[in-house]
Structure 1
Amino acid sequence: MSFEQISYAVEGYVAVITLSRPNRMNALTKVLESELRDATERAARDDNVRAIVLTGEGRAFCAGMDMEELEVLPPDDIRAENWMRPYDMNRRADYQTRYSYFPAVPKPVISAVNGAAAGLGMVLALYSDFRLASEKAVFSTAFAKRGLIAEHGIAWILPRIVGHANAMDLLLTSRKVTAEEAKAMGLVSRVLPPEQLLSAAMTLATELSAIVSPRSVKVMKRQLWESPYQSLGEAITLANTEMFTSLQSDDFREGVAHFLEKRAPNFLGK
């Protein structure tokens, strides 16, 4: 599979997806959107991939929808069937839509936000499991400045990450937020010098691939993303079911063995 507007590479157990329209600040087009989803699904299906790193080429992560496409975008495009295809029939439909599919991927998605993340670029980062930012990163919802609304579930996910007051601020003002302010409000977990960002993201991805059980990571990711729809009792019931299964898994046996034998783990994800 070849791509025009992204690059895709696998390093060890890590798939690196890079948005590659640097002359347009990696703004989204229909081609880029389609390629990003195809690449994400490719990584999800690859048994040799255990984590995904998403970043941008050049000085931006993703500046949102390309204005040249947005200007001629038909209103019904947002609900076009080709964008709403299911990723996994065993996962919640909420995580099968045009931009909300990262939570349905059974592997951690790490956004290495190297520069501007505006509009849909910020949406992509929000649906990731980890967000690391360069000191040069800038975040903005942008929608209110374009006469638009809180798109693609951002009104649901943003306050869950930064709180209601911060979400109201970011959405209604569309102001630009620095990486340090983003960290202070919990939007990102780490802020790094630009030259260290990708290395830090790869280190995290490698740790998630080798040091801990890929099977455990997959199950816990699903538990965390589905918990907003569950009562405490439902979350406990699911946890008990998953615990019963995990105690019979190869990764559990390996987890005990490598600890007792004082050696590095060799998890198979099974």
Structure 2
Amino acid sequence: MAEYEDLLYELKGRVAVLTLNRPDRLNAWTGAMERSVKRAMAAAVADDNVRVIVLTGAGRGFCAGADMGLLQQIEARKGEERPGASEETFDFASGLGPDVSPHYGGRFGYLLQVKKPIIAAINGPAAGLGLVVALYADIRFAGSEAKFTTAFASRGLIAEHGVSWLLPQLVGPAHALDLLMSARKFMADEAERIGLVNRTFPQEKFMANVMDYAAMLAETVSPRSMAVMKAQIWKAPFQSFDEALATADAEMQKSFASEDFKEGVTHFVEKRTPNFTGR
């Protein structure tokens, strides 16, 4: 297994668990962490045994945002090229579903190109850049004691890294403006109520519940179907209804010819556990 800095990579069955690993700093984001996350995502994509990816934080926090040392470097360099961004390149194109790569660039857009579902398991505080990274996940779960803040306005910053597009997609413009402009702190129950997270789980059973859900995806549904659906959903904001419908019609014909479609019908008729291959 490859070594990662400021990150733990663990396989649990068909689930790859990526754990931001600076617990003494509430997993504040570093350049090394960013590079490690990208490498780990690429490794999970390349591993046919992995069906689902979970991103979480070590200790009591998810990610407290950019390390203040990095922010001080930016101030010292008067806003020149930011430290910490990953220069490594990986090909995340899967060939499944519509191509979303023209729409999602920047430092984290690749996460929306990853063909496998990414679950952000927000176990504790998620602030600033940490919250932004969670928004790039496909599904978000929060522990009942998790706290959130966009933080940018209180640092004299703006809505960074595509959050001005992603956040209104999830919670609507009014909630997005409230959370961004006020930089106020809010709890998991509000995050669930406004649609920022899919669901909250009791803190003491949080990761067990997240892993149960991840295992359900990994073991009971077609990885090919998930990859195509993910691409459809992230492509749809740039399509008209008729274009999205045409995409669905074309993808349906491809699915009829897939191994997973044959297995989907067969396991249902035979009343047994599915054995999907992703092909």
Fold shared per TM-score above 0.5? yes
Identify the residue that residue 77 of structure 1 maps to in structure 2.
Answer: 81
Alignment pair present for 1:263 and 2:267: no
Distance 1:84 1:168, change over 3 A: farther
* Letter paired with 2:193: A
Identify the residue that residue 170 of structure 1 maps to in structure 2.
Answer: 179
Distance 1:167 1:83, change over 3 A: farther
User: Aligned partners of 1:99 and 1:43: how far apart in 2?
Assistant: 16
Q: Helix, strand or coil: the match of 2:81?
A: helix
Q: 1:181 pairs with 190, 194, 212, which one?
A: 190
Q: 2:261 pairs with 249, 252, 257, which one?
A: 252
Q: 1:84–1:97: 8 Å Cα contact kept in structure 2?
A: no
Shift of 1:86: 5.8
Q: 1:84–1:96: 8 Å Cα contact kept in structure 2?
A: no
Q: 1:126–1:158: 8 Å Cα contact kept in structure 2?
A: yes
Q: Helix, strand or coil: the match of 1:251?
A: helix
Runs of at least 4 residues of structure 1 off by over 2 A? Answer: 73-91, 93-97
Superposition pairs of residues 190-269 of structure 1, within 5 angstroms: 190-269=199-278
Q: How does the TM-score come out when normalised to structure 2? A: 0.93
Deviations 1:209-238 (A, max 9, x none): 111111100100100011101111111111
> Can you give the 5+ residue segments of structure 1 that lack an aligned partner in the other structure?
none
User: Aligned partners of 1:86 and 1:79: how far apart in 2?
Assistant: 20
* Letter paired with 1:184: R
User: Aligned partners of 1:81 and 1:51: how far apart in 2?
Assistant: 25
Q: How does the TM-score come out when normalised to structure 1? A: 0.96
Deviations 1:22-61 (A, max 9, x none): 1111001111111111111111111110100010011110
Q: 2:169 pairs with 142, 147, 160, which one?
A: 160
> Can you give the 5+ residue segments of structure 2 that lack an aligned partner in the other structure?
94-98
Distance 1:80 1:188, change over 3 A: closer
Shift of 1:99: 1.9
User: Aligned partners of 1:153 and 1:31: how far apart in 2?
Assistant: 21
User: Aligned partners of 2:64 and 2:209: how far apart in 1?
Assistant: 23
* Letter paired with 2:133: L
Q: Helix, strand or coil: the match of 1:195?
A: helix
User: Aligned partners of 1:204 and 1:221: how far apart in 2?
Assistant: 17
Q: 1:59–1:114: 8 Å Cα contact kept in structure 2?
A: yes
Identify the residue that residue 23 of structure 2 maps to in structure 1.
Answer: 22
* Letter paired with 1:158: L
Shift of 1:205: 1.2
Q: 1:83–1:97: 8 Å Cα contact kept in structure 2?
A: no
Q: 1:85–1:96: 8 Å Cα contact kept in structure 2?
A: no
Over aligned residue pairs, what C-alpha RMSD do you find?
1.6
Q: 1:56–1:113: 8 Å Cα contact kept in structure 2?
A: yes
Which deviates more, 37-46 or 147-156?
37-46
Distance 1:81 1:175, change over 3 A: closer
What is the count of residue pairs matched by the alignment?
Answer: 270
Q: Helix, strand or coil: the match of 2:119?
A: strand
Q: Helix, strand or coil: the match of 1:136?
A: coil
Identify the residue that residue 88 of structure 1 maps to in structure 2.
Answer: 92
Identify the residue that residue 33 of structure 1 maps to in structure 2.
Answer: 34
User: Aligned partners of 2:102 and 2:112: how far apart in 1?
Assistant: 11
* Letter paired with 1:42: A
User: Aligned partners of 1:78 and 1:226: how far apart in 2?
Assistant: 29
* Letter paired with 1:77: E
